[in-house]
Structure 1
């Protein structure tokens, strides 16, 4: 449908504009110490509002067009979800730098949960669109942001402990949903389709993603277990003093472990060949590979927000 392509190109312009603006802003921040990120996010929030207002009625959230249709009209619901998923992924890129602040955290949680829920709908509705590499990347990035928030957020920061616990439980459930979506898609791509180099690369990418997420989840569970043991063995006053004293060292150690997982994932991404099996991928899930940290994020490109304009699996996004 032509209108989908037009709206997708609008999102591509958003992505290009965000990249063009962020590079000089970061350079200015380093040289002058200024902070224009907030203004840029506000400007893009207004663009988001205008974009949603200008969407065709059948592409707006809440529309039921395409749910019961057959033929070409059946694609409308999937296209609706894909447009919003791409848009949310772009805005997650803009807001995740403020994950440590309350407003940024709230925005990131809404965006990530919407991305994961939408991917579940896409995969249930269309096997082709659900298996695109951009969808895997968006799903992985969303789940990673949720996991990083779980790992580095402090329990005592929340005013209401019961609400904080419920929020953490729901966040964990959403992360597990993302892991299962990646696992299911990886298994389906390997079993039901003829061998194809591009599809094998997509399969390997999905495998690496859910293995890395599982490793991060394991790290979170280990961290939670240590906190519970420490809380049970200390009085309230002693516990608060211990938390303040050990928080800095614990965060540094945790950051190193997280970066080890990310670096190992990147290393396997570069070295993996089509047809990589589960056994070889499991070799880095034990967190026993250590690589120098400074280059951990070198070469990462903002490719997960590019609009999907074709269902051709040969398209290398």
Structure 2
């Protein structure tokens, strides 16, 4: 019997209900929404987000989204708050409290203390006549017509609506602050985006003896040994002053073999590529990646102001660094 159950039909019904819940939020983007945004934008402390049960999980996510998009915020569990965690809330903070019913006893118990401290209170509920809505400095309504749960018990559409309203707040504040991708990277240094935006070539390149190099009169066969030693797929070719004058790559080797050139008796100067693409150590890795994509090359040499090779890296190094 279970195998005959139409799971997709139920899923479609859930999506329809939750889509309707999101569509219903447009009517609540009013002056109260603007007021809530201004309170958080002008906040000199942090936005304290709180909620109980499923609303607490949504509140935690909203706090994380705010914090990562330029609005300092953190989550405080309302049950723990009344047992000491209220001390985490400062005089310059703003409180954002979530409860679908607007009657969460754990949050209502905190209201006298929050009011005594004179903290702005933004309440997000599905009931504009609830205790929390009446006591709030600003009320954000997230009322839904029905839950996706057929029993009307499990918070589903209501939590989706609250989550979306939280995202609307966070992104509105992000744009109002002029928050940029570089700002985002500073709070996400461990992520791929943060690494691409913060890391510089000098952070990922090989140095010293790990930089392949040969002289102009080096035989091709010896240059191949140098390429194999470092495993980067290329070697720098330098003059007597150790300045870069060319590069020899795996691609150059294929062309050498195609022309049946004797690798044991021909110098690298005769077959090297002279116009090599180079970068500097202080270049952002993101810029280097873009350059490699444009030039369709898999590795780069790094030079200093005197055009001396000081580093080298390839796509494998970027993969290991987590930037691509």
Please state which band the TM-score falls in when normalised by the shorter chain: under 0.3
Pick 1 or 2: higher relative contact order, CA cutoff 8 A, min separation 6: 1
Q: Higher helix fraction: Structure 1 or Structure 2?
A: 1
Give TM-score, length-normalised by structure 1.
0.20
TM-score by length of 2: 0.20
